[in-house]
Amino acid sequence: MTAPLLVVDSLTRRFGGLVAASDVSFTVAPGEIFGIIGPNGAGKTTLFNVIAGHYRPTAGRVSFEGKDISGHAADEVGRRGIARTFQAVHIFKNETVRANLHRAAVLARRHNPLTWLSRRPHATPDLEGTAAFLGLDMLLDNVAGSLAYGLQKTVGVGLAMMVGPKLMLMDEPAAGLNPSEKIAAAALIRRLRDERGISVLLVEHDMPLVMGICDRILVLNQGMPIALGTPADVKSDKSVIDAYLGEDYEFA
C-alpha cells in the first residue's frame, strides 16, 4: 500500500466549552477524492481550518507526506503543497483573471522563496496552461468580478492551482451553482485528480455530487465521526441516515 498523503490523527478542536471537532481520524491517499459531509455545525470547516493552519488543534496531529504539520502557519502549510478554495468566492474582483492568477503565484512564493524553491522545485504552474485547463483562457483579460458566479468560483480554483498543490481542500465547491455549473464543477474536480494528479479533500452538501465523485467519505455529526467508507457504505449506514440523510433521502 502506498503511504497516505494526509493523515489526520485523533484531532480535537475546542472553542471554549464547545468541542467543534472531537477525536477525528482519517487519511487521504495520493490520487484520492475524499469527501466530508454532515449537518451544519458538524465541524467540517473547523477541520479544514485546522488542516490548513488557520487554527491549532487542541489535541491530535495532522501529517502531510509523513511530516507533522500540526499547528504550522497557513503559508507554511501552503508551501508544503496544500491549497484551499472557499465556500464564498475569494478572488480579486476588480482585477483581471490574469492578474488574479499572477497574484496567487506571487503570494505563494512571498515568504522565504529559497525554502520554497528547494522544497518544491517543480512548482509554479504555468499561468496560460492553468487558464486553458480551467476553460478561462478566452477570459484572461476580463475583470474577474464581471464574470458569471460559476466562472468566479472557477477563478477561485485557479488561484489554488497556482500554488502548485498536491492536495486541494475545497469547501462547498458546488454551493451557489446552477445544475449545469454543478456538473461542470464535478467534472473539474475529477480532472484535477486525473490530469493534474492533485488529490482532493472536499466538503459538500450536494449529495449526488459527493456520492458521484468521492472515493471515500467521512460523515461528521456534532464534531464526531459517525461513519467512514465508500459512497455505497455511507448511503446505507443507519446512523448516517438518522443524523443527516433522512429515511426518504433519494440519491439522484
Ligand X SMILES: Nc1ncnc2c1ncn2[C@@H]1O[C@H](COP(=O)(O)OP(=O)(O)O)[C@@H](O)[C@H]1O
Binding site partner of 51, from Mg ion, ligand X, none, Cβ cut-off 5-8 A by kind: none
- Least distance (Å) from ligand X to the CB of residue 117? 34
- Least distance (Å) from ligand X to the CB of residue 175? 12
17 part of the interface to ligand X, by CB under 6 A? no
Q: Which one, 15 or 249, has the nearer CB to ligand X?
A: 15
147 part of the interface to ligand X, by CB under 6 A? no
- Least distance (Å) from ligand X to the CB of residue 42? 4
Q: Which one, 45 or 70, has the nearer CB to ligand X?
A: 45
Q: Which one, 46 or 154, has the nearer CB to ligand X?
A: 46
CA distance 219 to 159: 28
118 part of the interface to ligand X, by CB under 6 A? no
Binding site partner of 100, from Mg ion, ligand X, none, Cβ cut-off 5-8 A by kind: none
- Least distance (Å) from ligand X to the CB of residue 74? 15
| Residues sharing a CB contact under 8 Å with residue 12, sequence separation 6 or more, in sequence order | 19, 21, 22, 23, 24, 57, 58, 59, 60
Interface with ligand X in residues 167-206 (CB under 6 A): none
| Total binding residues toward ligand X, as defined by CB under 6 A | 11
∠ at Cα 71 (24, 106), nearest 5°? 115
Interface with ligand X in residues 29-48 (CB under 6 A): 38, 40-46
- Least distance (Å) from ligand X to the CB of residue 176? 16
85 part of the interface to ligand X, by CB under 6 A? no
Helices 97-109 and 127-134 meet at what angle, rounded to 10?
130
218 part of the interface to ligand X, by CB under 6 A? no
Residue number with the shortest CB distance to Mg ion?
Answer: 45
45 part of the interface to Mg ion, by CB under 5 A? yes
Supply 8's cell numbers.
489526520
- Least distance (Å) from ligand X to the CB of residue 6? 18
Site string for Mg ion, 203-232 (x = CB under 5 A): ------------------------------
Residues that bind ligand X (CB under 6 A): 15, 18, 20, 38, 40-46
Residues that bind Mg ion (CB under 5 A): 44-45
